Amino acid sequence: MKRAAIVVLAGALLVAGCSTTGGNDAGPTSTTSSSTSSKGSTPSPVPGAPAIDWHDCGGGFQCGDMEVPLDYAKPDGKKIQIAVTRHPADKPDERIGALFMNPGGPGASAIDLARNFSRAGEIGDRFDIVGFDPRGVGESSPLDCHSHLLDIYDADPTIDSAADRAETLKASKEFVDECRRKYGPILPFLGTTNVARDMDQVRQALGDDQLNYLGYSYGTSLGQEYARLFPTHVRSMVLDGVVDHAPDGLTTAEEQAGGFTTAMKSYVAHCKAEGCGFDKPADQVIDDVVAQAEKAAIPAPNANRPAGPGVVSLALAQALYSETLWGTLSSALRDAQDGDGSGLVDLADQYLGRNDDGTYSGMFEIYFAVSCLDDSWPTDPGKVFAAAAKAAKKDPLFGSPIVLDYIRCAMWPAKPEPLKPVPADTKGLPPIVVISTTKDPATPYENGVAVAEQIPTGVLVTNVGEGHTIVGQGKPCIDDMVADYFIDLTVPEDGLVCK
């Protein structure tokens, strides 16, 4: 609920005509056929680009590492290692180029996404599928400073007392201090601006003149920053589940709380129509379970800890990322009504990336390392507490937990370098497809509308539906349009609506 969420998908991009249209003709709708100069061949690295020593790593994939400057202001200084994987185009004689992708987070592995992404149809035939883990993530010099993660998220996020406030401050300080002790010298260099520069280094190492890119959620931040820094190096770009760089950090958090509230209303309406196995309206069930956890943590005999208010908050948020989890949430709430919070703990652990053996995916430390650099934040934790209390009045269920998450940024040891929107006077940037879902909880629909307007070549596509992101999930209107755009550079109508 706090992060611009992680996307896990392995859906196919299909090739056909779009079945549902709408909107207006304000944007470009014509077809163009230019592509990278490497079409139909495997290109050589750009002279001077860092080398990648490739080796076979199974499933038709090649894996390798490359070194990039930790600080691009000192290109000959300390280096950091980046891990890359690619699956060469299945029809190399018809190769268009490499298709880079990022699943979000910040902190999710692009290598994992590339390895699980379906290569069905012409996408896999004509593009190398490429993923590189951003610095600090997965196989790219990952951070490991999450000893206090459970303390942070098991704390009561509603701050009803001085004790709640003290607990949040203590757990947050312990988390931040551990990351400072272990990684202080590199924390200033983990932001998205440097990741975008790394991506251009990978592009050069692959030998492509221009970049093709599919970014989900936080991956849309990376795409926008790349477009800002290297507009003439972009061939095609799809941004799905969009992060808006214009507002400050706390404003973005407040808007995200509104997105989760909208998604929760959809779940409640679903239960009103379907029942969900409850003996009362779903919103009353949720309120009862929250109140129950506030009074005393709900026992969870099949989990490692009871379901306190922090666990309940995470569980609710996790289930709203996708309609596929609504049934799981209903079951967990019914069990909680009967005094068993095990299902809620399981949902919370999915959110935290916590495995059955107690280990973690290692995503949250890099999440804060990036988020605290990419936005502007107050340095006084008291201002975050005040903003959380204000957000709670508008969005009682999610306002305080989501805003309060960023109290870590008020303590973070590295100075922010806030990302900026793509300037309106940017030259040489091709049409960029911006996809926004009407009831996306983590990146509200309005984000996509705003970013499509900010990018001078932005083309807005509206997906009418639930959940966070949509490309590759089997919706023909979306997937066919995306495939046509990547392959033939057929730009969709600005304002296209997929119902």
Locate 369 and state its tokens. Answer: 């390392």
**Coil/strand/helix, residue 300:** coil
Query: Whole-angstrom Cα distance, residue 321 to residue 1?
Result: 8
Residues tagged active-site: 217, 440, 468
Q: Is 33 exposed, middle or buried (0-12, 13-18, 19+ CB in 10 A)?
A: exposed
Contact 339, 298 (CB under 8 A): yes
User: Please, what sign has the CA dihedral across residues 286, 256, 217, 147?
Assistant: negative
Peptide bond into 106 cis (omega under 30): yes
| Torsion on CA atoms 153, 155, 157, 163, rounded to nearest 10 | -160
The 8-class DSSP code of residue 233 comes to G
How far are the Cα atoms of 312, 320, 384 from residue 4, in angstroms, in the given order?
19, 13, 19
Query: Whole-angstrom Cα distance, residue 315 to residue 160?
Result: 20
Contact 497, 23 (CB under 8 A): yes
Query: Whole-angstrom Cα distance, residue 269 to residue 345?
Result: 24
